[in-house]
């Protein structure tokens, strides 16, 4: 069964709420964000983030959340706290202590023997003033049958009480809300324009909203690295376009047809990722423009790049298919006229999977270094790659990640010939994240402050208010 990789899709609420109260309490505005849907044996594991706003001072000392498939949603009478028999085929139950500092409870007090709530979750509380708080629970993971074929549509209930007991009084509840991806919708494709190209893309973004709202979208060229044979949006994908702020509504869809995009020789097989953000959306929406164009090269080179790494230059490249390949000659030039062989890297030979290669030039030339790969087959034939340039001057800026995904939430990187005060960390929507920074020579360790949810982040080196170099960082 095919794995569905969905990073940062929004599950917008189509709310049909029956909000009732037995006491003065408030629990409103539930929202759900879908992180991923993956296969695990016969099950389909869904990972979501859940948030809602609560008045902690009015009957909301203990709060419970239940999620179901729509076809199995029960009719619960909230005159009393629901037991296992009332909940039926519930997919997940959360028990939350909201009396003081919020925390996840290990038991469901209304039925401790038959209902086991999810535990081991991270929870964030945002103080909105007074006794009002926004509660966010990250990485809620549970199986949903059929979710790997069709994206899950769920129903949920939330209720609160003042007592963690077997038969507590229900002080307020919020029931029968629908959770589904529905707006905005991104579609499109890559036009091959064979045999001579160039590749172009079509992009459509639509919304059912009658009121215009401002959005921005970015296009990323995939790095060519495949996961289970599929391209996935990740930290090494290359930003190739940023749109200006644009209004989107039912009467103002966004449409781009046959638009050329920037790519280099041997990189025209890579897919394009669309990342849409808006102030009115809780997070970014990610969609893929698939690339099904054909290639005739014996070695399909998806990526070739070089970076100044302190006193050396690192070269890295990725192939997604090899047939009868022998080795790669790494060639260097100072003037683009004459190239000499710097080293040799043996090839995999025959492979339909993603293969990563690297080479370190430990004695780079002063000034501009020009590199290319000569891909040599077993029969002696060869093909040259595109040429890349890496500057190595006395004042050249080196800015390179050391490990991605990061480990223990610590982002390690090299920064040379620039002010570390120009470093900025933000999420994919552009919101700044505070951090502490430790230095050892040209090596830095950045530690985000507070709780940082799993996901992609942007580490930028800025001049003024503009980012001159940006790295996408995956924090697991």
Asked whether the domain spanning 185-289 has the same topology as the one spanning 9-179, the reply is no
Residue predicted with more confidence, 443 or 311 = 443
CATH superfamily of 301-392: Immunoglobulins (2.60.40.10)
277 strand-pairing partners:
216
pLDDT for res 181: 44
Query: How far, in Å, CA of 160 to CA of 58, rounded?
Result: 10
In the structure encoding, which two tokens stand for residue 311, read together?
């006193």
34 pLDDT band, cuts 50/70/90, is low
Mean pLDDT, range 188-199, rounded to an integer: 80
Residues 6+ away with beta carbon under 8 Å from 64: 93, 94, 95, 96, 108, 110, 117, 158, 159, 160, 161
Burial (CB count within 10 angstroms: exposed 0-12, middle 13-18, buried 19+), residue 346:
exposed
pLDDT mean across residues, the chain:
80
**377-396 confidence digits (pLDDT tens):** 888 878 888 788 888 888 88
The three-state secondary structure class of 340 is strand
Per the model's pLDDT, the better-predicted residue between 128 and 13 turns out to be 128
pLDDT given at position 33: 67
- 230-289: pLDDT as tens digits: 777 877 788 899 999 999 987 889 999 999 988 775 566 788 999 998 887 766 788 889
Nearest to 220, CA basis, from 209, 206, 234, 208 = 234
Task: Give the Cα separation of 342 and 331 in Å (integer).
Answer: 5
Does 326 or 469 have the greater pLDDT score?
Answer: 326
Q: What is the pLDDT of residue 18?
A: 34
Give tens-digit pLDDT for 129-175: 777 788 888 888 888 776 555 555 678 888 888 888 888 888 888 88
pLDDT of amino acid 86: 95
Q: What is the pLDDT of residues 283-329, one digit of tens each?
A: 678 888 988 776 555 667 777 888 888 789 999 888 877 878 889 99
Q: What residue ranges in 98-199 does DSSP mark as E strands?
A: 103-104, 122-127, 132-143, 154-161, 170-179, 185-191
Peptide bond into 405 cis (omega under 30): yes
Q: Are 7 and 35 in contact (CB under 8 A)?
A: yes
Output the CATH code of domain 398-475: 2.60.40
Nearest Cα residue to 281 out of 177, 67, 428, 133: 428
- Phi-psi label, residue 146: left if phi above 0, alpha if psi -120 to 50, beta otherwise: left
- Check residue 17 and give its pLDDT: 31
What value, to the nearest 5°, has the Cα angle with vertex 241 and ends 259 and 413?
150
State pTM to two decimals: 0.49
d(Cα 66, Cα 54) in Å, to the nearest integer? 16
How large a percentage of the chain has pLDDT more than 90?
26
pLDDT per residue as tens digits for the range 426-440:
988 888 999 999 998
pLDDT band of 407, cuts 50, 70, 90: confident
Q: Does residue 11 surpass a pLDDT of 50?
A: no
253 touches 205 (CB < 8 A): yes
Give the architecture (CATH level 2) of 185-289.
Answer: Sandwich (2.60)
Q: Domain locations in the chain?
A: 9-179, 185-289, 301-392, 398-475
3-state secondary structure of 280: coil
Residue 8 clears pLDDT 70, i.e. is over it: no
Exposure letters 387-407 (e unless 16+ CB within 10 A, then b): bbebebeeebebbbbeebebe
Say which CATH class 9-179 falls into.
mainly beta
Q: Return d(Cα 274, Cα 290) in angstroms, integer.
A: 11
With left for phi above 0 and alpha for psi between -120 and 50, is residue 101 left, alpha or beta? beta
Q: Round to whole Å and give the CA distance between 121 and 136.
A: 10
Q: What percent of the chain has pLDDT over 70?
A: 81
DSSP count for the chain of H helices, then E strands: 1, 36
Region 77-86 average pLDDT: 91
Classified as helix, coil or strand, 85 is helix
pLDDT of residue 386: 78
Least confident of 33-47, 237-251, 309-323, 345-359: 33-47
Distances in Å between the Cα of 330 and the Cα atoms of 42, 127, 337 are: 46, 56, 16
pLDDT of 345 reads 93
């Amino acid at each position: 069964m095919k794995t569905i990789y969905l990073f940062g899709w929004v599950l917008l609420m189509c709310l049909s709420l029956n909000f009732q109260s037995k006491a003065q309490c408030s629990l409103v505005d539930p929202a759900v964000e879908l992180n991923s849907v993956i296969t695990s044996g016969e099950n389909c594991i869904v990972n979501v983030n859940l948030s809602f706003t609560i008045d902690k001072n009015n009957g909301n000392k203990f709060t419970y959340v239940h999620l179901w498939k729509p076809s199995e949603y029960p009719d619960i009478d909230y005159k009393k706290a629901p037991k296992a028999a009332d909940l039926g085929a519930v997919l997940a139950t959360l028990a939350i202590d909201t009396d003081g500092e919020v925390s996840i409870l290990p038991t469901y007090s209304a039925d401790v023997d038959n209902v086991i709530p999810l535990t081991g979750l991270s929870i964030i509380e945002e103080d909105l003033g007074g006794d009002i708080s926004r509660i966010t629970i990250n990485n809620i993971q549970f199986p949903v049958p059929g979710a790997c074929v069709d994206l899950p549509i769920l129903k949920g209930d939330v209720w609160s009480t003042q007592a963690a007991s077997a038969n507590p009084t229900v002080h307020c509840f919020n029931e029968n809300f629908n959770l589904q991806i529905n707006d905005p919708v991104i579609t499109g494709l890559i036009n091959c324009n064979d045999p001579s190209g160039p590749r172009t893309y079509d992009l459509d973004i639509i919304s059912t909203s009658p009121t215009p709202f401002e959005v921005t979208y970015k296009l990323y060229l995939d790095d060519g690295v495949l996961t289970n044979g599929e391209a996935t949006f990740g930290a090494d994908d290359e930003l190739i376009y940023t749109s200006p702020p644009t209004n989107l509504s039912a009467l103002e869809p966004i449409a781009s047809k046959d638009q050329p995009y920037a790519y280099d020789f041997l990189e025209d097989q890579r897919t394009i990722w669309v990342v849409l953000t808006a102030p009115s959306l809780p997070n970014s929406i990610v969609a893929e423009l698939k690339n099904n164009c054909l290639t005739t090269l014996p070695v399909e080179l998806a990526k070739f790049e070089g970076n100044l790494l302190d006193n050396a230059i690192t070269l890295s490249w990725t192939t997604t298919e090899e047939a009868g390949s022998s080795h790669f000659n790494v060639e260097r030039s100072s003037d683009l006229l004459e190239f000499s062989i710097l080293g040799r890297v043996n090839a995999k030979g025959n492979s339909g999977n993603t293969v990563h290669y690297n080479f370190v030039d430990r004695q780079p030339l002063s000034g501009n270094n020009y590199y290319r790969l000569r891909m040599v087959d077993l029969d002696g034939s060869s093909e040259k790659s595109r040429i890349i340039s890496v500057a190595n001057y006395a004042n050249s800026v080196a800015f390179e990640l050391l490990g991605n995904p990061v480990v223990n939430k610590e982002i390690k990187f090299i920064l040379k010939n620039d002010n570390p005060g120009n470093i900025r960390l933000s999420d994919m929507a552009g919101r700044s994240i505070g951090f502490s920074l430790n230095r050892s020579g040209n090596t830095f360790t950045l530690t985000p402050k507070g709780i940082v949810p799993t996901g992609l982040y942007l580490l930028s080196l800025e001049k003024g208010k503009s980012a001159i170099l940006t790295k996408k960082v995956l924090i697991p």
